[in-house]
Amino acid sequence: MGIERGLPLILRRLPAGWRILIAFCAGAVTLLAFAPFSLFPLAAIGPALLFLLWLAASPSRAFAEGWVFGLGLLGFGIFWMHISIDQFGNVGTALAILITLAFVAAMALYYGAAGWLALRLAGTAAAPWRRLLIISALWPLSEWLRGWVLTGFPWLTLGYSQMDSPLAGWAVLLGGYGVSWALVLTAAGLVLLLLGQGRHRVFCLVGLALLWGVGGLLGERHWTKKVGAPIRVSIVQGNVPQEDKWLRDNLLPTLELYSGLTRQHWDSDLIIWPETAVPAFAHQVEEALLRPLEQEAREQGSELLIGIPAWEQQGNHYYNAMLSLGPQRGVYHKRHLVPFGEFMPLKFLLQPLIDWLQIPMSDFTAGDADRPLLTVAGYPAGISICYEDAFGEEVIQALPEAAFLVNASNDAWFGDSLAPPQHLEIARMRALETGRYLLRATNTGISALIGPRGQVLARSPAFETHVLTGAISPMGGYTPYAWIGNWAVVSLSATLLLLALALPRRRGEKGEAD
């Protein structure tokens, strides 16, 4: 019996409990590929273990094992969500954990659905290469769906784990989902190396070498170019504890902290404060804070970009905003709000839940700007607030005008957890996809200057009051991804899926339902 048949047979004979355990461990191991661990090869090894199970599975088994894989990856990877629900949601630790696990279970369904559909389409008797090709096409499509269905949650998309590997180069062509596509093809290639023989293994090795080699070459090419003199920037990290931030007695000390640190860096062309650095509405601090700082900035030849909530009296709308102060005033209103954190879906039904949770500033209105642009330091800049930078296709709406990107966040909601390094990794992907410098300003860390290849040029220490200063260059031009967006990888995956389904089947292959 050849290994192509032998190994799937062994896996098929494994007790269901052992298969579930392997799938869960494969998901947990995959998490170690992401920041802060950054063991990027595990992003191929973990899915490869799952694919081996799927080669010896029925559609229903593939669903269960995919779902459990998702539980292992997301259960450990985003467990930090319970911190904000517990500490700031007024529900208690036990219920916060239960809510988090329910969310994890829901998001893990995407992995189960991908496995179920792959086995239904391929048939359980299909050749391993056909099933693996279908799986490789469906995986990035399922991640893409997770990134926009019900406003989307693209956290821990597989491609983010490859920021320091040659596969990251695919991002300039296909975006973060394209890196996921390259990863699952790698995982499929590893499985075929194990199962194949002779020339099949040679074919797999050549394919893997091309996949990784082309990724490295794409990453080395300069897709954008400098279009102006360097800009000196300072990012103010106030390190104000989240539990103290909205206390009335803490407003004046917070304003004095940020103002004092700013006045020490008027030699910078641009000074950035993080998301909602000012714990009050703009109109409430207009005379005491904004106008004096605006005047000083003009006199010093500098410019400020401040995270501050804004209230629009007409219509009674509240916005999470970034306000520029300098030669001219401008404002950007956050467009992609966090469900249950910044707005409540089905508010007319869930008002009692809103009143019970008591989350500060949880009734924002989404901004309606067509494009996320502000002119600061003499250049148009692409602005994103908080987890807006997790949506690559929204960030590229600022191009080609944007000379650099700015992301203002407040990861203090999640304490000393995996969230800040994971969020920094996401920001790095946005810089790489667009070929732009990205300035990341956070309340408690990790603030960073990120280069146009996604490299971290400088970063602030977490949970320290710190001002990060450096120089960036305004950039012009397009990467292919910035021109095409996610439709490139969606089209490629759909084409591969159709090809796998259309190719003639060998004798003995048949589509078997569960």
Here the tokens at position 280 are: 């009050």
Residue 204 a catalytic site member: no
User: Could you identify the residue written with the tokens 């990205």?
Assistant: 438
- Cα(99)–Cα(177) distance, integer angstroms: 28
Note the Cα 23 to chain centre separation in Å: 24
* Nearest Cα to Cα of residue 404 among 373, 429, 425: 373
Q: Around Cβ 56, how many Cβ atoms within 10 Å?
A: 19
Pair of tokens at residue 418: 């995996």
Judge if the upstream peptide bond of residue 36 is cis by omega within 30 degrees of 0: yes
For the segment 115-133, the average pLDDT, to the nearest whole number, is: 88
Helix (H) or strand (E) holding 439: strand 438-442
The pLDDT of residue 91: 78
Residue range 52-78: mean pLDDT, rounded = 96
Report the alpha-carbon distance of residue 399 to residue 280 in Å, rounded: 32
The single residue of 245, 342, 386, 394 carrying the catalytic annotation is 386
CA torsion 85-88-90-91 (nearest 10°) is 10
Consecutive H or E run containing 311 = strand 304-312
Residue 51: exposure state from Cβ atoms within 10 A (0-12, 13-18, ≥19):
buried
CA–CA separation, 422 and 153 (whole Å):
14
- Active-site position among 4, 65, 143, 275: 275
Angstrom distance (rounded) from CA 492 to CA 475 = 29
Q: Tell me: the pLDDT tens digits for 399-449?
A: 999 999 999 999 999 999 999 999 999 999 999 999 999 999 999 989 999
Rounded Cα distance between 448 and 168, Å, is 19
Indicate if 334 belongs to the active site.
Answer: yes
- 330-333 and 317-325: which strand pairing? antiparallel
> What's the longest Cα–Cα distance across the chain?
82
Alpha helices in 246-300 (DSSP H): 251-263, 291-300
Q: What is the pLDDT of residues 260-315, one digit of tens each?
A: 999 999 999 999 999 999 999 999 999 999 999 999 999 999 999 999 999 988 87
Closest CA to 339 of 149, 63, 129: 149
Residue pLDDT, tens place only, 333-392: 999 888 766 766 655 555 565 555 555 555 788 888 888 999 999 999 999 999 999 999
CB–CB of 451/460 below 8 Å? Answer: no
- The share of the chain scoring above pLDDT 90, in percent, equals 77
Output the CATH code of domain 226-476.
Answer: 3.60.110.10
386 has catalytic annotation: yes
**Of 204, 334, 388, 433, catalytic:** 334
pLDDT at 510: 52
- 334, 320 in Cβ contact below 8 A? yes
Quickly count: other Cβ atoms within 10 Å of residue 221's Cβ: 11
Q: Is the pLDDT of residue 513 over 50?
A: no
pTM here? 0.93
Q: In the prediction, which pLDDT does 339 show?
A: 77
Mean pLDDT, the chain, as a whole number? 91
Q: DSSP label at 288? A: I
Alpha helices of 90-154 — where are they, by DSSP H? Answer: 93-122, 128-146
**Are 177 and 486 in contact, with CB atoms under 8 Å apart?**
yes
| pLDDT reading at 187 higher than 90 | yes
Instruction: Sketch the domain layout of the chain as residue ranges.
Output: 3-222+486-502, 226-476
In 3D space, the residue among 189, 132, 192 whose CA is nearest the CA of residue 4 turns out to be: 192
* Weakest-pLDDT range from 7-11, 246-250, 345-349, 377-381: 345-349
Going from the C-alpha of 224 to that of each of 5, 404, 438, 479, the distances in angstroms are 49, 11, 14, 7
Amino acid at the residue 363:
D
The neighbouring-strand residues paired with 321 are 308, 333
Mean pLDDT to the nearest integer, 163-182: 98
- Which parts of 332-439 fold into alpha helices (H)? 347-357, 392-395, 419-434
Q: How much is the pLDDT for 357? A: 55
Quote the CA–CA distance of 385 and 398 in Å, as a whole number: 14
From CA 269, how far away is CA 277, in angstroms rounded? 20
Q: Is a pLDDT exceeding 80 seen at residue 46? A: yes
325 token code pair: 């102060």
